[in-house]
Structure 1
Amino acid sequence: MINLFLVITVAGIPYSAFAQTNQSVYPKVMGYVGILHPIVSYSKGAPVYNFDGYYVGGLPTGINIWKNGKIGFSAEFVPFVRAEKGTSKMSNFLFHPGVLVALGNGFTFAGRAAFETSGRYGFTPVLNKIVKKNRQSNWFVAIPVPFRFGNDHPATITIGFQFGILF
């Protein structure tokens, strides 16, 4: 009878009690910094390439707040520097809030609104991929595709490349 009691008791213990779990606690707050290189912009005229007579680069810094493992909020701040003819200056500042959607396998989609000090506004879909995981940080690459309007300029679409570290 005691053996039957032990079998029933041991069989009733969930196996997960013996397994170690790596569950995250939500909400989860993460920060990141990176470097953004716009590659080419398209508008009514011919394409305009970065590095062709000038260089514009951005330094995105942001905070991600994950509600759960699938969806979160992000606020990104990007000062842009333009170097041309031997001189450089801060040319624009971008406030970039948005939603994050985890796609699996290290991919994340960010859908961002865009508000620039240049008077332009729009939205930016971004596809992000974690390429190297570390214990306290992750390295990522991203392809942002900004759509911009306003300030008496034609609408533009740009393709860029971004990389950085998430911590």
Structure 2
Amino acid sequence: MPLKNLQCFLMLLLSASSFSQNSFHKISAYVGIMHPIVTINKDETTLNFRDYYAVGVPVGVNLWKNEKIGFSFEVVPNIKDDQGSSKVTNLLFHPGILATLGKGYTFAGRAAFESSGRYGFTPVLSKIVLKGPNCSYFLALPLPVRFGNGHPASFTAGFQVGISF
């Protein structure tokens, strides 16, 4: 390995080491269950539990820069049961920025990229409702807004419950 390449490699290792030591205050993971309640677009309003049953299973990792701000990476497989036939309908890639609001509340501003071809954003307000020594239980209100793939723009209100550790 030429000396210049070795120097670059060592610089990369040193910067990665200092990045991991100084940049993130905390790393946490979570899993939850998300129920869309109502979806509205210009053509129709659909209700989960009445017209069909849909559920998402968000799994994510939060990288906290400090106690106030962080980055979150979330993946959500969505399952839909319609007239007795169930299947995975979509996989959502959901990166975002986290901001603590105090008193156990956190705001997540997420970009949304769905395998169905839809895209958009999702503001999420969450609240820790029970904090234990090894995990915390939370409730969240996700409000997805979606565009694209030949469908009208839509707005959904959902309810999420989860555990973080």
TM-score, normalising length from structure 2? 0.85
Residue identity over aligned pairs, in percent, reads: 58
Q: Paired residue for 1:42?
A: 40
Report the alpha carbon displacement of residue 51 of structure 1 after superposing the two structures with TM: 1.1
CA RMSD of aligned residues (A): 1.1
Q: Choose the corresponding residue for 2:56, options 52, 55, 58.
A: 58
Report the alpha carbon displacement of residue 152 of structure 1 after superposing the two structures with TM: 0.8
Q: Paired residue for 2:85?
A: 87
Number of positions where the alignment pairs a residue of Structure 1 with one of Structure 2: 143
Q: Choose the corresponding residue for 2:67, options 56, 66, 69.
A: 69
Report the alpha carbon displacement of residue 149 of structure 1 after superposing the two structures with TM: 0.1
Q: Paired residue for 2:138?
A: 140
- Within a 5 Å distance, the mapping from 1:14-29 to structure 2 comes to 26-29=24-27
Look up the equivalent residue of 2:52 and give its one-letter code. Answer: Y
1:135 aligned counterpart, secondary structure: coil
2:95 aligned counterpart, secondary structure: strand
Look up the equivalent residue of 1:28 and give its one-letter code. Answer: K
Moved over 2 A (4+): none
Structure 2 residue runs without a partner (length 5+): 1-22
1:153 aligned counterpart, secondary structure: coil
Once the two structures are superposed, residues 6-64 of structure 1 have per-residue CA deviations (whole angstroms, 9 ceiling, x without a partner) of xxxxxxxxxxxxxxxxxxx9431000000000000111023210112310100000000
Structure 1 residue runs without a partner (length 5+): 1-24
Relative to total residues, which structure has the larger helix share, 1 or 2? 2
TM-score, normalising length from structure 1? 0.84
Report the alpha carbon displacement of residue 105 of structure 1 after superposing the two structures with TM: 0.1
2:43 aligned counterpart, secondary structure: coil
Q: Paired residue for 2:128?
A: 130
